[in-house]
Amino acid sequence: MQTTVAVIGGGGHVGLGLSLLLADTGHSVVGIDTNVANNARIMAGDMPFKEEGAAPVLKRVLESGRFTIHDDHAAVSAAEVVIVILGTPIDSNLNPDLKPLRQAMATIAPFLRPGQIVMLRSTIAPGTTDTLRRMLEDLTGLTVGQDIDLVFAPERVIQGKALSELPLLPQLIGAFDDAAYARTEAFFLTFLRSRCFQLSPTEAEMGKLMTNMFRYVQFALANEFQMLADMHGANVFKIIDACNHDYPRLRIPDPGPNVGGPCLFKDGWFLLEGVAFNEIIATAFRINESMPAQIRQRLAKVPTIRRVAVLGMTFKANSDDTRNSLSFKLCRILENTNYEVVRLDPMLSAHSDWQVLDQVDAVVLMTPHDCFAELATIRRHVGRDDVLYADLWGFWREMRYCSANGYFWGHDIPH
Ligand SMILES: NC(=O)c1ccc[n+]([C@@H]2O[C@H](COP(=O)([O-])OP(=O)(O)OC[C@H]3O[C@@H](n4cnc5c(N)ncnc54)[C@H](O)[C@@H]3O)[C@@H](O)[C@H]2O)c1
C-alpha cells in the first residue's frame, strides 16, 4: 500500500525524520511547515539539524519527487493520511499549552475531507485527542468514525536516530474504533518491522507519557543516589557499577546533570495536570532541575574559582539541539553569582572555539559529546593543573572511580 501523506510540522525535529522515512518507503509525502526558511533549506537538500543517515535519504527522496515541503496547508486535501506532529509546550504555569495544536487544527480543518486518517503524533496530555475530536467535528461538520478517522499514535523515537529506530519501534495506536485502528495499522506496516498495539486514545497518550516519565524518574533516582553517596563520602559510580554487574534485576542508570530536553522537561506536567497525588514525578523534576545548583554549591566551596568553562550546551550527547538544556540554567545561575562563564560546544558553531578553555579555574562537563571523550585533550587546552573538574556523568573513565562523585582536581588525574 502506497499512499499520499501530509505531515503538519514536517520540517521539525521528529516530523522531518518521519517524512523522510515515509517517502523513502514509497509514499508520496508533503511536509507542511510554517517555518519557511527551514523549508527552503530542506528543499535545497540541506538537513537543518543532525539526524543520523538523513542527508542521503533527503537527497534521494527530493530527486525522486516523493517528498516536498512548503507552508501551504491546502495540500492537506490531497492526502489520504494527515499526520500532525507539532511542538506541544507547557505554559508559564507548567500546564499544557494547546494553542499551537488548536491553531493548526483550525488551519487544516477547511481542507479535511471524508475518508482521510488524521493522525496526531505530538506528545499530549491524557484526554487531548478526545478534546480535539470534538473541535474537529465542530469545525468540519465531519463525524469521527463515520466520515473521517482520528487516531493518536505517539512518536517514541530518540531524536537523532529516527531513521534507524522508526522501522523497529512498536507503535501504540490510540483509536476510537476497530476500523480506524486497522487502517492505521496497515499504514504503519508499510515500513514497520515490529508490531502495533491497539489502545484507546487516552491509553496511548498515557503510554507515551509513561514511557518518558519512567526514564525521567529513574534518572532522578540516580541523581539522588549521587547526592546521598556524596553525603557519605562514597563513590556513586563504584556502587552503581558493582551493583549492576551480572545482577539480573537491576539497571541503575548513571547520574547526570543535564536531564532535560524538549520532551523530558515538560512531559511529566502533562500527566500531572489537575492531579493531586503527584509526588514522584514532581519530586523527580525538582531533583533533576536542581543539579546545576548542586554544581554551583560545590564550586562555591573553592573561593579562588572565578572563571568556569561549561562543556556542552545541548541536552543530549552528539546532538545540536539546545532546547531545555540545563547547561543554560547552569550558566545563568553561575553568572547571577558573578562567575565568569565560558561555553564550549563543538556541535554548535557559536561555541566551537576551544581557546575559551585558556585560564579557566573550573571545567563542568554538562553534555558528554564524543569530542570531549579525551580528558587529556581538554587538559591540554586548559593548560594548568590547579583546575577543578566536574563530571557528574562519570564520563571520563580515568576519574570515574577515583573522584568524589565526579569532582576532581587536574593535578589528581593519573598520567
Ligand atoms: N524531539 C524529540 O526527540 C521528540 C521525540 C518524541 C516525541 N516528540 C514530540 O513530538 C512533537 C514535536 O516535537 P519536535 O521536537 O519535532 O518539535 P519542533 O518544534 O522541532 O517541530 C515542530 C514543527 O512544527 C512547525 N509548526 C508549528 N506550527 C505549525 C503549523 N501551524 N503548521 C505547520 N507547521 C507548524 C514548526 O515550524 C516546527 O518545524 C512534540 O509534541 C514532542 O513532545 C519529540
Boundary (domain end) residue, out of 201, 219, 234: 201
What is the DSSP secondary-structure string of 149-181?
EEEE----PPTT-HHHHTTTSPEEEEESSHHHH
Q: Which domain holds residue 288?
A: 242-412
In a domain, 248, yes or no: yes
Catalytic site residue 208? yes
Q: What is the pLDDT of residue 92?
A: 83
Q: What are phi and psi of 314, to 5 degrees?
A: -90, 160
Spacing, Cα 232 to ligand 1 middle (Å): 43
Answer for the pair 191, 215: CB distance below 8 angstroms, yes or no: no
Q: Give the atom of ligand 1 at the shortest distance from the alpha carbon of 8.
A: 33
Q: What is the pLDDT of residue 175?
A: 98
Q: Give the atom of ligand 1 at the shortest distance from the alpha carbon of 124.
A: 41
Q: What is the pLDDT of residue 407?
A: 95
- Supply the CATH number for residue 63's domain: 3.40.50.720
Euclidean distance between CA atoms 12 and 168, whole angstroms: 21
User: Does the beta carbon of 199 sit less than 6 angstroms from any atom of ligand 1?
Assistant: no
Pair (254, 175) in one structural domain: no
Strands 407-409 and 362-365: unpaired
In a domain, 94, yes or no: yes
Determine the number of helices (DSSP H) and then strands (DSSP E) in the chain. Answer: 15, 13
Name residue 84's beta-bridge partners.
Answer: 8, 120
Of all protein residues, the one whose alpha carbon is nearest to atom 31 of ligand 1 is: 104
In angstroms, what CA-CA distances link 6 with 18, 61, 137, 148, 396? 11, 15, 20, 15, 45
Pair (140, 271) in one structural domain: no
Phi-psi region of 32 (alpha: psi -120 to 50; beta: other; left: phi over 0): beta
Phi-psi region of 411 (alpha: psi -120 to 50; beta: other; left: phi over 0): alpha
The distance of Cα 336 from the centroid of its chain, to the nearest Å, equals 28
- pTM for this model (two decimals): 0.89
Residue of 50, 196, 208, 238 marked active site:
208
Euclidean distance between CA atoms 161 and 17, whole angstroms: 9
Spacing, Cα 316 to ligand 1 middle (Å): 17
Pair (351, 252) in one structural domain: yes
Of all protein residues, the one whose alpha carbon is nearest to atom 24 of ligand 1 is: 9
User: Does the beta carbon of 155 sit less than 6 angstroms from any atom of ligand 1?
Assistant: yes
Answer for the pair 118, 148: CB distance below 8 angstroms, yes or no: yes
Pair (265, 384) in one structural domain: yes
Q: What is the pLDDT of residue 49?
A: 96
User: Does the beta carbon of 9 sit less than 6 angstroms from any atom of ligand 1?
Assistant: yes
In a domain, 235, yes or no: no
User: Does the beta carbon of 105 sit less than 6 angstroms from any atom of ligand 1?
Assistant: no
- The low-confidence residues of the chain, meaning pLDDT below 70, are none
Q: What is the pLDDT of residues 142-170, one digit of tens each?
A: 999 999 999 999 999 998 999 999 999 99
Of all protein residues, the one whose alpha carbon is nearest to atom 36 of ligand 1 is: 9
Stated length of the chain: 415
User: Does the beta carbon of 11 sit less than 6 angstroms from any atom of ligand 1?
Assistant: yes
Answer for the pair 275, 269: CB distance below 8 angstroms, yes or no: no
Pair (186, 257) in one structural domain: no
In a domain, 171, yes or no: yes
User: Does the beta carbon of 103 sit less than 6 angstroms from any atom of ligand 1?
Assistant: yes
Q: What is the pLDDT of residues 182-218, one digit of tens each?
A: 999 999 999 999 999 999 999 999 999 999 999 999 9
The distance of Cα 271 from the centroid of its chain, to the nearest Å, equals 17
User: Does the beta carbon of 124 sit less than 6 angstroms from any atom of ligand 1?
Assistant: no
Pair (194, 329) in one structural domain: no
Answer for the pair 150, 129: CB distance below 8 angstroms, yes or no: yes
Answer for the pair 392, 406: CB distance below 8 angstroms, yes or no: yes
Q: What is the pLDDT of residue 272?
A: 85
Pair (194, 271) in one structural domain: no
Euclidean distance between CA atoms 21 and 235, whole angstroms: 44
Spacing, Cα 48 to ligand 1 middle (Å): 14
Number of domains observed in the structure of the chain: 2
Helix, strand or coil, per DSSP, at residue 82 = strand
In angstroms, what CA-CA distances link 134 with 74, 131, 219? 22, 5, 37
And the C-alpha cell for 256? 547526570
Closest by Cα among 127, 136, 121 to 96: 127
Spacing, Cα 122 to ligand 1 middle (Å): 7
Euclidean distance between CA atoms 66 and 2, whole angstroms: 11
Spacing, Cα 241 to ligand 1 middle (Å): 37
Pair (310, 403) in one structural domain: yes
Q: Give the atom of ligand 1 at the shortest distance from the alpha carbon of 11.
A: 39
Answer for the pair 123, 85: CB distance below 8 angstroms, yes or no: no
Q: What is the pLDDT of residue 403?
A: 77
User: Does the beta carbon of 18 sit less than 6 angstroms from any atom of ligand 1?
Assistant: no
Catalytic site residue 402? no
Helix, strand or coil, per DSSP, at residue 104 = helix
